[in-house]
Structure 1
Amino acid sequence: MHCQPHCKHQVYIWLKKKQSCLLCDEISDASLPLCVPCETELPWLDDQCLHCALPLPMSGLTCAQCVRHPPAFTEVVAPWRYDFPVDSLITRFKHQQQWPMGRLLAELSAQFLQHRFDEGLARPDCLLPVPLASKRLRQRGYNQSAMLAHWLGQSLNLPVDERRLLRIRETTAQQGLDAKTRKRNLKGAFAVRDAAWMKGKHLALIDDVLTTGSTADVIARVLLKNGAQQVDVYCLARTPRPEG
């Protein structure tokens, strides 16, 4: 079942014209529908954990969770904290079918990733979107992670494959669950097609938001077990640690 919008739909046409800023409605002075002042004020993720990108008070540190239980993925790359207005843009893209919001964030994220590549971040061999459960895909009609992956792949000239990673078991919603319960909920949920293809490859998982990292960790372990050499995670935003 392939439910992704086609590339000739209006989400692609709109972004080729001079735009008003999607945040303040002023005419954008850049090629994207976001003015420079609003882009500057986005909640850019600064000091963070070296592995999971959890916001931290200082740079160059590893969070306690990653020290106690090192994740299977090597690094999370995320431009923003999951905070206003990025959280609102993601919600409107993910749950309200406002695809220009997702396309805008993907274009900005691609610029951020290209800067990281220029600074020495290793380019992956392929981008793999986190798959949705079949029931949720039917309900929503599209996989936002797959859409992000294709936009990023187009901008960064990287291949995308949404058929190698499979979701083979339906799971309950992850929202509201702690990290331990999330991992238990995801046990046996993912598998791969053609493990020989993955052997020795550097893969990057694509998702919209990283919360506890449980989904990314479970998938990374499956990919590594099936021959991948390295797994990174590219997402739009990283949530802070819950208070209390």
Structure 2
Amino acid sequence: MNCQPKPKQLVYNWLNFDQSCLLCDARAAQAYPMCMACEQELPWLEEYCLRCALPLPMADLVCAHCSRRAPAFEQVIAPWHYGFPLDTMISRFKHNRQWPLGRLMAEMLSINLQHRFADGLLKPGLLLPVPLAKRRQRERGFNQASMLAGWVSKCLDIRCDERLLLRTRDTPAQQDLNARARQRNLRGAFSLADQRSLEGLHVAVVDDVMTTGATAQAIANLLRKAGAGRVDIYCLARTPKPGQA
């Protein structure tokens, strides 16, 4: 049973320049429902690893982990680090079904990506959302990564395939595990419905938050082995290392 809601059927009034900020209710005065004051208060990620987007104390650096062993993905794009109020927005979207917040964040991610494409970032030919385990999707009622990928696909005119990347087995929730346990937890967790369709293709994997990067690494390895020419990761937010401010 597919219980994923259809974005076209969501009740949402998206009027340009005539809408209220979803955070403070002030007049947004922008093409998306967030006022400039709230937008400036978001935890923008400005100094980060050039490969995995890990928050760093200085810009234009590669973190120690990526320097020692380059990840299977080429680059992570994340506009924000996982902090207030963005963490609350993501939680309300995922756990309270506040889909307008998800659409807002997807549109802002798309605007960020448009700027990066203009600055030379290569535009992918395909978006793949990270699939949820069937049990968790039944409990939640939808896959937030699929909804984000669908909105980004429409904003950027990039093809999105929600059926190509599969979750082949249920696994314990990643947030309850450390980095090494996350890697073990994801062994054999993903597969592809059709490997031939990826030969030489530039693919971007879409998710909400990147923590240790274990999910991104597992999926990127799978896609590269299937012949993908390049794999990028698009997400809303990147967490710091445990214990890091």
| Cα RMSD after superposing both structures | 1.2
Aligned to 1:16: 15
| Separation in structure 1 between the aligned mates of residue 14 and residue 78 of structure 2, nearest angstrom | 23
What amino acid does structure 2 have at the position aligned with 1:56? L
| Separation in structure 2 between the aligned mates of residue 47 and residue 98 of structure 1, nearest angstrom | 30
Aligned to 2:168: 168
Aligned length: 243
Q: Is the 8 A contact 2:165 2:190 kept in 1?
A: yes
Residues 18-75 of structure 1 show CA distances to partners (whole Å, capped at 9, x for unaligned) of 2211111111111211001111221110010011000101111111111223211110
Aligned to 1:56: 56
Aligned to 1:222: 222
Aligned to 2:96: 96
Aligned to 2:112: 112
Aligned to 1:70: 70
Stretch moving more, 20-29 or 211-220: 20-29
Length-normalised TM-score, structure 1: 0.96
Structure 1 gap ranges (5+)? none
Matches within 5 A, 1:36-47: 36-47=36-47
Structure 2 gap ranges (5+)? none
Give how far 1:2 is off. 2.8
What amino acid does structure 1 have at the position aligned with 2:167? R
Aligned to 2:205: 205
Length-normalised TM-score, structure 2: 0.96
| Separation in structure 2 between the aligned mates of residue 194 and residue 137 of structure 1, nearest angstrom | 22
Pair 1:30 & 2:15 matched: no
Pair 1:151 & 2:151 matched: yes
Give how far 1:16 is off. 2.8
Q: Is the 8 A contact 2:7 2:147 kept in 1?
A: no
| Separation in structure 2 between the aligned mates of residue 235 and residue 7 of structure 1, nearest angstrom | 19
Over the matched positions of the two proteins, sequence identity in percent amounts to 55
